[in-house]
Amino acid sequence: MAVWRVALSFPVFFTAAYRDNSVLLQGDAVNVLLVGDGTPDQMLGKDIVTRYISGKRPISRTTVSTLIKLDEETLMDRVSKSGIQDVILGAQCLSNLMQSEHIEIPAYAKNAIQEISYEDDPYRFIASCFLQAVRCPKDSLVPISKEMMEDILTCRAELSPSEQAAERTPEKLVTPKASDQSMQDADEADLLINTKTLPAVKGMATYRISGLNYEKEREKIKLLLLDGQDGNMKRQLTTKELYDSLEIMRVSA
């Protein structure tokens, strides 16, 4: 990683949480976050959005003043509507980034954010990071370079302390018999889900599974969810849903 250290600004926040991780165009995602349910004439233009997320222009004082007055539920609602595809991936990246040497953030603010579990309450976690990011002083704003962007996105692949512990003590997984149709649908996947206990689940978030480094084994591991009503639909499943509702089974290669 390159040597750099900056404040948690809006461009840093947006890169970590939304870069290649949104079902919306970046302009639409930024407008949902900064403007909310505004009228068409209140929406930010493409040029302004580009400058905001690149760090070449600070967010306007009027916008910041409005945002810091919003309650937590409203901020969380904006995050939930902003098109973030994998909310855990974005929250985890922000969490790892704040623990890295690259980010300067007041201790009180960092402690307040880290009191929120990014795994259990990712929308609240991201909303707290968002609020801190828009508070970034104008003189602390630094344009996002290519190296900075690459380093920020690398934080998505890094393990947190708890995940590092899980890596050292992997859970024992049961090898099933590949007999039913759901296992045939898995093709070359190393990891399968027992669909007999599978409920209909909403959401597209992916998590690491304890004992398995998903980022490092992403070419070998597929997280599959067969919809409870339509067995042909495949979706990605969250860790909480996996552990609450499903049996995880490893298929030997």
* Average pLDDT of span 106-122: 93
The DSSP annotation for 53-86 comes to HHTSSPPPHHHHHHHTTS-HHHHHHHHHHTTBS-
The DSSP annotation for 131-191 comes to HHHHT--GGG--PPPHHHHHHHHHTTTSPPHHHHHHHHSPPP-BPPP--SHHHHHTTT-SE
- pLDDT band of residue 86 (cuts 50, 70, 90) is very high
What mean pLDDT value characterizes the chain? 74
User: In whole angstroms, what is the distance from residue 211 CA to residue 172 CA?
Assistant: 9
- pLDDT band of residue 90 (cuts 50, 70, 90) is very high
User: In whole angstroms, what is the distance from residue 56 CA to residue 141 CA?
Assistant: 8
Q: Cα–Cα–Cα angle for 46, 47, 51, nearest 5°?
A: 115
Secondary structure of residue 30 in the 3-state scheme = helix
Single pTM value for the model: 0.64
**Do 190 and 221 contact (CB within 8 A), yes or no?**
yes
pLDDT at 101 over 80: yes
First CA to last CA distance, the chain: 34
**Do 155 and 16 contact (CB within 8 A), yes or no?**
yes
Q: Look at residue 13 in the predicted model and tell me its pLDDT.
A: 98
